[in-house]
Structure 1
C-alpha cells in the first residue's frame, strides 16, 4: 500500500510540475486523489457514443465523396446498375450515383487516334509489303459501346481486325508498281474505300462508334526480299527507258518522213503552179506580140531576126555569113 501511495505521489508531482525533491504531505496527497475522483468520474458510455458519432460522420463522408462524380466537357459518363446501362450524361457538371448498386464509366467525346499494328500483306503480283497505318475515330453512342463492347480496348481490337482485313483485300487487287508509282492517288482512293468498308462492318456489331479516316502512313518492304525487289525495280526501269527511247526514235523517223513527203508535195505543187503561171504569161505575151506585129509585118520580121541573133551570137563568136543572109544585111546596114 505504501508503494502504491508513493507511485501516486510521484505521478501527481509530475502533473503539478513540482520537483522530485519536494515531497508533499500524505494528507495532501489523499485529498488530491479524492478531489480528482470527484471532478473526473469515469463514464465509458460517453466515449462509446462519441466514437459511434465520429464513425457515422466519417462513413457518411466516404459515401458522399465516393458517389459524387464530375462530368467534364470532353467526356461522357455512362451509369450502370447491376451491369445494365441505366443512363448516360453528356452535360458537364457535378453528378450523383446511387451508392453500392451503381457504377460510372467515363468515355471521351473527342476524336481518338488508334495506331494499327504493322502487318505484311501480298499485292496482286505476289509482292510482300509491310503496311503501317492508323485510324481516327470517335464515339457516337456511348450506351451502345458499353452495352455491346464494354470497353474501348475491345472496340479498338475489333476495329484493328476489320482494318487489316479490308486493307489486305484492297491492296491485294493492285500491283506493287501501281502502289509505288501512283502513290498519292492510289492511297487516297484506298483510304476512302477502307474507311467506308470498316464503318460498314462495325455497324453490324453496333459498337456505337464511327471511323472518320483510315490512313496508310508508310509502305515498306520486308528486309528479306528488299534487295531483290530493288534490283527488279532497277531492271524494270531500264527496260522501260529503252522502250521509251525506241519509241522516241521511231516517232522521230515517222515525223521526218512525213515532213519530207509534205515538203516534196509542196514543191511539186509550187512548180506546177509556177509552170501554169509561166505558160499563161507566155501565151498572153504571144497574144500581145501577134496583135502588135500583125500591124507591121516587116518590123516583126526584123525583131525576130534580132532575137535569134541575140541567142546565136556571143561576145567572142566569129561567124561567116553569105551576103544574102538576113544577118549580113542587118550587119551591113542594109534592110530591104
Structure 2
C-alpha cells in the first residue's frame, strides 16, 4: 500500500472535523453555542463561528419581527357593556440568553403562549380600567389604549427576552346576546341627540327671526321718520314758493289756483257739480273775469 491510501482517510477526517467546527450565522437570526446545555457563545451578528465538534451544538433564533394573534376574549369596560376583542401583536427576540433561559426547550411555541397570556391580561387591565368606556374603545381614542397595552406588555415580555414592537386591536364586537339591546340603546341616544339638535336649531331660528323683525321695524320706522321730514320740508318749500308767487302777483296767483281747482273738480267723464251761478268758484269762468285775468 502506498502513502496516498493512508493520507486520503486522514485528510477526509481532518476536513470533516474542520467543517463540523465551523458554523454560519445568517443575518436573519441569532445563535447560541451550547455545550452540554450550557451557553458558551452568544452570536448576534451574522458571519462565521467556531465550535468544538461533537460537543457543542448550535441553537438558532429568529432575529426578524414575529407576529402573534391573540384569541378572542371578552372585556367589560367602565360602562358595563361587554365587548369581544382580539389583538394582532408584533414582537422580536431581544435577548437570546434570557429568552433561552425563560422558554427552555419549549422554543417559539412556548414563548408565543406565554406572550399571549401577557397580552390577554394587559388587554383586560387596560380596557377594563376606570374611565374607559365602550365608546372610547370604539372611537379613534383606541390608539392611545393600544399604546398603553403595548407599553405594559413590553415591560412584562422583557422577562422572556422579548420586545413587543406593536399591538393593534383587530375586532371589537358586541356579544350576540347584547347586540340588539345595545343597538336599540344607541338608536335611542342618537334620537335624543337629534331632538336636542333640532330644538337648538329652532331656538337659533327664533332668535334670528326676532332679530330680523326688530331690524325691519327699526329700518321702517327710520324710513317713515325720514319720509315725514322730507314731506314736511317739501310742504314748507311749496308754501314758500306759493307765498313768494302771491307776493309778486296776487291776481295771477288767484287765477292759477282757480285753474288748478277747475282741473281737479272737472276731470273725469261724468263729473256733476250743483253750484249757484253766482258762486265765487266760477269767477274766472265768466267772460269779464277771464278778460281781466288775460290782460
Give the structure-2-normalised TM-score. 0.74
**Structure 2 residue corresponding to 1:197, chosen from 143, 152, 155:** 152
Q: Distance in 1 between matches of 2:39 and 2:121?
A: 32
Name structure 2 gaps, 5 residues minimum. 1-8
Q: Is 1:269 matched up with 2:227? A: no
Q: Which residue is 1:226 aligned to?
A: 179
Q: Is 1:319 matched up with 2:270? A: no
Does structure 1 retain, via aligned residues, the 8 Å contact 2:258–2:284?
no
Q: Distance in 2 between matches of 1:330 and 1:200?
A: 121
Does structure 1 retain, via aligned residues, the 8 Å contact 2:28–2:62?
yes
Q: Distance in 2 between matches of 1:287 and 1:171?
A: 92
Matches within 5 A, 1:148-187: 150=104, 151-172=107-128, 173-180=131-138, 182=139, 185-187=140-142
2:79 counterpart SS class: coil
Q: Which residue is 2:64 aligned to?
A: 110
Q: Is 1:209 matched up with 2:167? A: no
Structure number with higher relative contact order (C-alpha < 8 Å, ≥ 6 residues apart): 2
Q: Distance in 2 between matches of 1:299 and 1:160?
A: 119
Q: Is 1:294 matched up with 2:247? A: yes
1:127 deviates by: 0.5
Q: Distance in 2 between matches of 1:193 and 1:318?
A: 105
C-alpha distance 192-267 of structure 1, shift in aligned 2 (>3 A): farther
Q: Is 1:129 matched up with 2:83? A: yes
Q: Which residue is 2:5 aligned to?
A: none
Does structure 1 retain, via aligned residues, the 8 Å contact 2:25–2:47?
yes
1:229 counterpart SS class: helix
2:177 counterpart SS class: coil
Q: Distance in 2 between matches of 1:120 and 1:307?
A: 102
1:268 deviates by: 2.8
Q: Distance in 2 between matches of 1:171 and 1:305?
A: 102
Q: Which residue is 1:6 aligned to?
A: none
Q: Higher Cα Rg: structure 1 or 2?
A: 1
C-alpha distance 295-221 of structure 1, shift in aligned 2 (>3 A): same
1:273 deviates by: 3.0
C-alpha distance 282-99 of structure 1, shift in aligned 2 (>3 A): farther
CA RMSD, 1 decimal: 3.7
1:107 deviates by: 1.4
Does structure 2 retain, via aligned residues, the 8 Å contact 1:85–1:147?
no
1:156 deviates by: 3.5
Q: Which residue is 1:95 aligned to?
A: 49
Give the structure-1-normalised TM-score. 0.66
Q: Which digits, 9 at most, give the CA deviation of each residue in 1:150-201, with x for residues without a partner?
A: 5444544443344334333443333324444x3xx23333223332333344
Q: Distance in 2 between matches of 1:242 and 1:152?
A: 56
